[in-house]
Structure 1
Amino acid sequence: MNATPFFDTLAIRPLGNGTFAADLHPDWAVGERPHGGYLLALLSRAAVGGGSLQPLSVSAQYLRPPKVGPVLLRTERLKAGRTVTAVRSVLEQSGQTCVDAMITLGELPDEEPAYSDLPEMPVNPPQDAVDLANPDTRAAPGLTRTCDMRIDPRSAGFLRGSTSDPLRLRLWARPHAGQPDVLFGLVAGDLTMPVTFNLGRFGWSPTVQLTALLRARPANGWLRLVVESKAVHGAWFDEDTLVIDSTGKLVCQARQLALSPLRAPD
């Protein structure tokens, strides 16, 4: 599979005054809709610009879905400090704001964590892990072009036709081209199919708001994703994702508020 290297899909062209032009890459789209985590990575790339800082947190409002193709990225530095820099980063298309994000930049720590309490999960996907490139899994087809993704079938009741399993999923992911980097770690926080698949609610589940905390640079190898929801009220649901690298470091914590179809399809 000839996937475009992930960082190459985040190319930006400076236009001056903190404004950049970019092209939303079709490899990171589901139909015409670019993946939400990919949009966060692109906004963060613009916020970093040519500097050496890294995103520490990203909080984004998804106002309307853009389409694959050209976009404008506008950034505004709100604070530049010795520890953190705050940047507003906005993605526009056809004169409309699509995603509006607040991004905190700083230095990611390189030392080992002083404390860590993370769920246990095998470093590599076990033999019975299901490859999400298989169309029978109802995975988003655009993402399997760019990522190798496997899911623990014991957590995915929807694979068995069940609608009563807990809303918890366990997955493994890595890019087809290259190794995960900081911005791919950010993408991984939004890489899973909606956890509400375990309720039988398939179809588009748009993210309304997403906040991601980047905690460390990912090591080479598989990223482990632990995904769960605490409550589903009507169409609204929350989704929390922990992203853990091959050495056991926490790479990203993401929480989003999203909408799901109210009924499972007949």
Structure 2
Amino acid sequence: MSYKNGVVGYREGILANRSIVKKDNYALIEPDGIVKNAIVGFENCDVTILSSPKIGASFVDYLLTIKEDGKNHLGFGGEGIEVFFYIFEGNVKVWNDDKSEKLTDGGYIFSPAGKKLYFENIGDTPAKGFLYKRLYDRIEGYEAHTVIGNSNDLEEIPYEGMTDVIIKDFLPAANNFGFDMNFHILSFKPGASHGYIETHFQEHGAYIFSGQGMYNLDNDWVPVEKGDYIFMSAYCLQAAYGIGRDENFAYIYSKDCNRDAKL
């Protein structure tokens, strides 16, 4: 069963699941079968840990439902840990030592290392979000800073010149070595695709919030859809086609950047 789809008890058919986990390579995690995790500080929240070092990631991704009166007043992140929080729907107040803001659909906050993130649901319905943490790879002379915004206000950029594939960049990481990661939204119109199969040093955690696609994961073509989560390790071959009829295939994802490989 899964708390995400409300299916409990025996199934009518045999037990089956689309999820694929190849540790240190890639993973597809579908909503059916995911479970809640009890974590200190998260009050009246349903939390699922998606990627983590146990799967081969250098970061941790969480799927989060903040119920009415749900909150984290203990703080998330802190010394050496950077945090990114995205709100799919709902009304959530967020703050750290620098800023306080009310976020709604598409709102986000990046809280740099050393500044804990706090939040609470200020709406009368559950809020749904995507949460990320990572150890900050510090370089002397450079620092990141708090960023708050809304994805609906971000510039739509044709991905490598392709007008039917659109990317949005959340953080001012380009040419700014204070940031060692960024978040993006990539959106494909039906039939659109990457221009080539990518192979690179960076890794991704991606949550699909719209549409359907066919994803190449280490040369395995895998069907994916809204509600699925994908982990892609460093050097995992990757590319996607948008499929379906009317809805764009779109996902939010993280990518480490601005750092040399370490020996």
Q: TM-score, normalised by structure 2?
A: 0.28
More helix by share: 1
Query: Going by fraction, where is strand more abundant, 1 or 2?
Result: 2
